[in-house]
Structure 1
Amino acid sequence: MSDSASRALEVLIDDFHSGERIRVWSLVITIFGDAVIPRGGELWLGSLQELMERLRIEPSAVRAAMSRLTADGWLTRLRLGRKSFYRLAEAGEAEFEEAARRIYRPHHSEWSGKWLMLSLSTDTGEGREARRRQLRSAGFGAISPTVFLRPDTMENGRAPALQTGEVLFHSSLDPASDARQMVAQAWQLGEVEAHYSEFIDTFAPLGRALDKGVLSDPLSAMAARSLLIHRFRRMALRDPAFPEELTPEGWRGEAARTLVSSIYRKLAGPSETWLDTCPNSHERPIRKPEFDIAERFGN
């Protein structure tokens, strides 16, 4: 193992524990989405605990997180003797697919110049607040309390199903309008960009260390990969993934995506070696992914 890469990983783990309270269930979601689903979606609890222990997370916290995710319908459990295996529940498949598409997307989307504009119902209350959060998670920005929009691109996926009282328009913007200014305000991009800058500062040392030598210990590589995607995932799901003509000049999201792509490619081989050792419920290694993990970001 590269000494500099190993030191960089320990610093990242220190940073992970020094920040806000760790939401173990959220980290589990990251690991399933990034590493387990491409291999069939099933993981032995013992394998998960081994990885979490490398990240200095206690087994009791892992068990509590798995109980919560199972109770909330995200995961299902299969118990064979004294071993517990977990897999993604059907209800969560669409959410995982949407998240993966936005995390691993190419740098820029192709765009026809069209927009999706959705007008909310005039009803008020908790239902509308939940709908606003749902639309933001689907890449929409708000130009007023009841009007949301997003660029109509292939990468943005399907239009959301309409709820009672909502209206959906396919529209275009007058050329005289300042689209970049509207975008920056509607999506609060200043805050997103600040998080991207912090991400770059945090993970650049690992990137430089991996340029000098690989993180050859498979478990450590998987731990580094999990931290990388967990931190990046939170920003990628808030980033509306604009076409280049709508992206603010000097947008730090591009530098962050370049960095995460480079690090991920270098961690892919050894981290997949660790996953090859994880058993499935038939006491065989979990299956290999059907695509090259190293090329996931479109390298």
Structure 2
Amino acid sequence: MDDDTDFTLPHTRTRRLPRPHSGGGPQHLLITLLGDYWFARDELLPSAALVDLLAEFGANENASRQAMRRLTQRGLLAQGKQGRATYYGIPGDIVANQRLRLARAVTFGADFSDWDGHWTLVSFSIPEAERDVRRLLRNGLKNMAFGDLQDGVWISPHDRRADAVALLDELGVAAGHVMHATWGMREGDREAVADAFELDGLAGEYRAFLDEYAPRRKWAEGDVDPREALLLRTKLTNDWLAFRLSDPELPAELLPQDWPRPAARALFLELYDRLGPKAAAHVRHLIARYDASLSRIVTHHAVPTVDARMSEEMARMLQEGGGAASP
């Protein structure tokens, strides 16, 4: 997962310009863990318990406490005191964002089968003297999962006209145009689409995901150590959602017949669900060191059939695109 990813609606991307990451790993990890095991809770958790939780992933105490302070400054954690101890939790006003992140995590990768045949097309001409602007524009379009069809022409099967126009305006690109068009496909054009979106490389990444995690199916059916379940489930989720940055989510009719994403998605959902109880048990164990009553309300998400049983509220939020962008 990435801090520049927008999880509000299926097939949407942010238009934010690329920016360097600045060591936000523990921050992102903590928000991810709280969203998975402390979902929509008003209670605050002891900071020492959260330090122990992050330590399971290799974060030292100083980095963990600094992450908590920074998240609090950003309004993404609530802070309280009980005696001399500091407690943290999820502010009520970002619970909607938690729901959207969860929904996006488990719906990502579903087939895009309702395509209307239209493309968003961005064309531009930028002189060599402004190559930095050209680089920023290309990176911005790539972040929105446009494909590089040919020099100065980028395409997306999703309606991203507003974001593309905003990006051109933001960068001051005068000789840039955004169109919504159909494509009279000729022989070889499907291969051009595959090249524009680098589908061969993406397919390889999905197959590597399958190669790494498929052997875990048998292991997950056994008596899994709770700590190992937590570590693997968190890595699994992050690895799966990393595809959100590289997969353009093309319409099903434009994908190769042996496209490996459906198998990868099924594997993710199976392992995520199967490992949930043991992973939550380890989080419960860590919190119980400091507060047994709080440990008893740790939960986890079970999502292999989430598309069928997604709550009415979450479905409405996904349709409306409500909530803040993910941290």
TM over 0.5: yes
Matched, 1:184 2:184: no
CA pair 99-158 structure 1, distance change in 2 beyond 3 A: farther
Deviation at 1:210, TM superposition (A): 1.7
Question: Quick check: 1:250 aligned with 2:254?
Answer: no
Relative distance call for 1:90 and 1:178 in structure 2 (3 A) is farther
Which of the numbers 118, 123, 127 marks the counterpart of 1:119?
123
Q: Is the 8 A contact 1:140 1:150 kept in 2?
A: yes
- Do the aligned partners of 2:53 and 2:283 also contact (CA within 8 Å) in 1? no
Q: CA deviation at 1:167?
A: 3.1
Q: Of 136, 156, 167, which aligns to 1:150?
A: 156
Letter in 2 for 1:180: R
Q: 1:76 to 1:194 in 2, by over 3 A?
A: same
Is 1:60–2:69 an aligned residue pair?
no
In the TM superposition, residue 87 of structure 1 has moved relative to its aligned partner by: 4.1
For 1:74 and 1:183, how far apart are their aligned partners in 2?
Answer: 42
> Which of 177, 182, 194 lines up with 1:172 in the alignment?
182
Q: What letter is aligned with 1:54?
A: E
Distance 2:297 2:40 in 1: 6
Q: Structure 2 matches for 1:1-299, cutoff 5 A? A: 23-28=25-30, 30-31=32-33, 35=36, 38-39=39-40, 44=45, 45-66=47-68, 73=74, 75-76=76-77, 78-81=79-82, 82-85=85-88, 87=90, 97=100, 101=104, 104-110=107-113, 111-120=115-124, 122=126, 124=130, 126-152=132-158, 159-160=162-163, 162-163=165-166, 164=169, 165=174, 166-211=176-221, 213=222, 215=224, 217=226, 219-272=227-280, 293-296=303-306
Change (3 A) 1:95 1:85: closer
Deviations 1:173-210 (A, max 9, x none): 21325443123211222332232222222222222212
Looking at structure 2, the residues matched to 233 and 42 of structure 1 have their Cα atoms a distance apart, in angstroms, of 28
Change (3 A) 1:80 1:236: same
Identity of aligned residues (%): 23
Higher Rg: 2
User: Does structure 1 retain, via aligned residues, the 8 Å contact 2:283–2:298?
Assistant: no
Instruction: Give the letter for the 2:252 counterpart.
Output: E
What is the SS of the residue equivalent to 1:107?
coil
Q: 2:212 & 2:195 partners in 1: Cα distance?
A: 27
Q: What is the CA–CA distance in structure 1 between the aligned matches of 2:228 and 2:154, rounded to whole Å?
A: 42
Q: Distance in 2 between matches of 1:74 and 1:24?
A: 16
**1 CA distance for matches of 2:141 and 2:98?**
13
Alignment gaps of 5+ in structure 2:
1-22, 310-327
Structure 1 residues 105-114 or 174-183, which shifts more? 174-183
Deviates more, 1:177-186 or 1:157-166: 157-166
Quick one: distance in 1 between partners of 2:147 and 2:101?
A: 17
Q: Aligned partners of 2:302 and 2:27: how far apart in 1?
A: 27
TM normalised by structure 1 equals: 0.68
- Unpaired runs of 5+ in structure 1? 1-20
Give the aligned CA root-mean-square deviation in angstroms. 4.3
